[in-house]
């Protein structure tokens, strides 16, 4: 089974990052993250790589898809389910499947570890001990997963599997953030300011909105001064449905407001929030807002009122023929100009 944040290696040496846990039968939806490059910053020995995206963003993903379509069309297909052009790796071209949980288990028993690998092991041991979540429910992704990391500057990217485990780990991180003497800290100082400026620049946030998101962000911070991210992935037992159970038809870009009624699926990619009181002057049966941008994962809570701009899609269930609508954040059509933001009042939370 191919899970979100797994990595796939192809005959060209490309490293793709898997997106989501539901895929077509003959290919795996993923975006190109690293490519071989003689002067690349990542890698071991003579095997060097460079990133295809300095920062994850929809415009960068679209640029990657266009490059692949022009030079490596085998990694691009038009999805009849999503009705968009997207990147994916044909299963016949996968020469290695990098699994975060397997890589982490190897680090636990390794006789030698570099400084970053030791931080990964210590961080997971700490989270596991304090939360009661078994170490086998964690993984390590990113450059450490593929063994091309650089201990001097690479980050810690940890996966945790399952909703219940996610909530336990979230509570531990929030507890540590509240402590003044913990080696697990929220982004702060110069690094924090750099991150906040990135949010403002890439998501068009006001200073007040940046402050609001900074308070709600729980899965990014620093461990022993090294940046970390905690990425929630569905446990295989939680993955419901199959690719093609619903088909999505574009209905144009819309703006509006709504209230969050369920956020349990917001911790995963794509993150999903159930909605009521959707006001866009059309399609009053909008049931959810879905984002392929992890920035919005696990941020909003039940009862929050949000403002949004995104692609309205009609959803048609294959078996029943039932129709409904959703708002999609991260679509090619929006060109990076879509968003979800809190509707702030004078005494915003």
CATH number of the domain residue 299 falls in: 2.40.50
Instruction: Establish if 194 belongs to a structural domain.
Output: yes
Cα 159 to chain centroid, rounded: 10
The pLDDT of residue 346: 55
Instruction: Establish if 263 belongs to a structural domain.
Output: yes
- Smallest CA-to-CA distance from 257 within 176, 340, 181, 192 is with 340
Question: What is the residue range of 39's domain?
Answer: 7-97
Per-residue pLDDT of the chain (349 residues; tens, 9 = 90+): 999 999 999 999 999 999 999 999 999 999 999 999 998 999 988 899 999 987 777 778 889 999 999 999 999 999 999 999 999 999 999 999 999 999 999 999 999 999 999 999 999 999 999 999 999 999 999 999 999 999 999 999 999 999 999 999 999 999 999 998 899 999 888 888 999 999 999 899 999 999 999 999 999 999 999 999 999 999 999 998 899 999 999 999 999 999 999 999 999 999 999 999 888 866 568 999 999 999 999 999 999 999 999 999 999 999 999 999 999 999 989 988 999 999 987 545 4
113 and 187 housed in the same domain: yes
Instruction: Establish if 332 belongs to a structural domain.
Output: yes
Instruction: Establish if 153 belongs to a structural domain.
Output: yes
222 and 127 housed in the same domain: yes
Instruction: Establish if 348 belongs to a structural domain.
Output: no
Number of domains in the chain: 3
The pLDDT of residue 157: 97
113 and 184 housed in the same domain: yes
Kindly state the helix (H) or strand (E) to which residue 44 belongs, with its residue range.
strand 42-44
274 and 184 housed in the same domain: no
Instruction: Please tell me whether residue 130 adopts helix, strand or coil conformation.
Output: helix
317 and 203 housed in the same domain: no
Instruction: Establish if 347 belongs to a structural domain.
Output: no
176 and 84 housed in the same domain: no
38 and 114 housed in the same domain: no
Residues 6+ apart with CB under 8 A from 211: none
75 and 145 housed in the same domain: no
Cα 251 to chain centroid, rounded: 25
- Alpha-carbon distances, residue 5 vs 89, 137, 143, 230 (angstroms): 14, 14, 11, 11
Among the candidates 176, 206, 233, a domain finishes at: 233
228 and 320 housed in the same domain: no
- Smallest CA-to-CA distance from 230 within 294, 160, 290 is with 160
**Phi, psi values for residue 165, rounded to 5°:** -65, -40
225 and 111 housed in the same domain: yes
79 and 117 housed in the same domain: no
302 and 337 housed in the same domain: yes
Instruction: Establish if 1 belongs to a structural domain.
Output: no
Instruction: Establish if 239 belongs to a structural domain.
Output: no
N-terminal to C-terminal alpha carbon distance within the chain: 40
- Between CA 197 and CA 214 the distance in angstroms is 11
Looking at residue 68, the DSSP 8-state letter turns out to be: H
- Between CA 250 and CA 145 the distance in angstroms is 36
The pLDDT of residue 133: 98
């Amino acid at each position: 089974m191919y899970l979100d944040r797994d990595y796939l290696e192809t005959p060209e040496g490309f490293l793709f990052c898997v997106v989501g846990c539901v895929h077509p039968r003959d290919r795996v939806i993923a975006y190109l993250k690293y490519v071989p490059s003689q002067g690349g910053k990542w890698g071991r020995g003579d095997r060097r790589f460079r990133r295809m995206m300095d920062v994850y963003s929809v415009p960068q993903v679209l640029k990657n898809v266009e490059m692949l379509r022009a030079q490596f069309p085998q990694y691009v297909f038009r999805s009849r389910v999503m009705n968009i052009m997207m990147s994916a790796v044909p299963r016949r071209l996968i020469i290695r499947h990098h699994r975060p949980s397997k890589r982490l288990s190897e680090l636990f028993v390794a006789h030698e570890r570099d400084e970053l690998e030791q931080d990964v092991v210590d961080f997971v041991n700490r989270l596991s001990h304090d939360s009661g979540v078994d170490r086998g429910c964690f993984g390590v992704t990113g450059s450490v997963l593929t063994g091309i990391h650089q201990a001097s500057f690479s980050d810690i990217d940890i996966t945790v599997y399952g909703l219940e485990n996610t909530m336990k780990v979230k509570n531990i991180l929030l507890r540590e953030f509240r402590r003044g003497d913990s080696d697990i800290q929220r982004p702060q100082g110069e690094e924090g300011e750099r991150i906040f400026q990135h949010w403002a620049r890439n998501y068009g946030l006001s200073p007040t909105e940046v402050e609001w998101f900074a308070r709600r962000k729980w899965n990014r911070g620093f461990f022993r001064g090294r940046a970390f991210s905690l990425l929630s992935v569905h446990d295989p037992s939680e993955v419901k449905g199959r690719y093609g159970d619903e088909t999505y038809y574009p209905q144009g870009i819309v703006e509006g407001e709504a209230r969050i009624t369920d956020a349990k699926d917001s911790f995963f990619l794509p993150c999903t929030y159930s909605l009521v009181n959707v006001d866009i002057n059309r399609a009053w049966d909008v049931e959810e807002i879905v984002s392929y941008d992890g920035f919005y994962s696990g941020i909003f809570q039940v009862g929050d009122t949000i403002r949004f701009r995104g692609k309205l899609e009609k959803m048609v269930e294959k078996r029943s023929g039932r129709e409904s609508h959703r708002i999609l954040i991260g679509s090619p059509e929006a060109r990076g100009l879509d968003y979800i933001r809190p509707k702030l009042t004078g005494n915003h939370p």
